[in-house]
Amino acid sequence: MNTAPEISTTIMAAGLTTNLHDIGSDRGHGTVLLLHGSGPGVSAYANWRLTMPALEKDFRVIAPDLVGFGYSDVDPARFTLAGWTSHALGVLDALGIERAHVIGNSFGGSIALSLAIHHPDRVRRLGLMGAVGLDFPITPGLDTVWGYEPSVEAMTDLLRI
């Protein structure tokens, strides 16, 4: 029996083994799909653990580990906006969810935007937190975070930022 809170339900979504949190119930308000940000060690649980209990009082809450993150499959061929969007859509399909409120944090915001643009019939409302979606110059600090390769030196540099 698993006791790690990061690991919850495993489903197949868009052909990928996907770890997700599925809590609460619709209660007439619908389903909320939470899309996490990126960075070393990111997972749905790490990003949304304090948000999920508040939302589950009124909504069914779905928080997947997107492809390449947390405890979901790693498939570098899908590390594109289209690949992550397809995975998010696959989560909805696998769970039989026709429409959801979608909330995206940072990297997850770009996926939420992509989902809303390419599949507007699947998105009831859209909430974005620090979402990326436009071209912008990457700062040295952001480049360090996104290019993180695990090592003591790299973590030391990251903490200095």
Q: How far is the C-alpha of 70 from the C-alpha of 68, rounded, in Å?
A: 7
9, pLDDT greater than 70: yes
Q: What is the pLDDT of residues 37-54, one digit of tens each?
A: 998 889 999 999 999 999
**Nearest to residue 123, comparing CAs of 135, 132, 134, 111?**
111
Beta bridge partners of 22: 62
94, pLDDT greater than 90: yes
**Widest distance between CA atoms in the chain:** 50
Phi and psi for 121 in degrees, rounded to 5? -70, -15
In Å, what is the CA distance from 94 to each residue of 79, 86, 152? 20, 12, 39
For range 60-69, the mean pLDDT: 97
Q: What is the pLDDT of residues 100-148, one digit of tens each?
A: 999 999 999 999 999 999 999 999 999 999 887 666 677 787 777 777 7
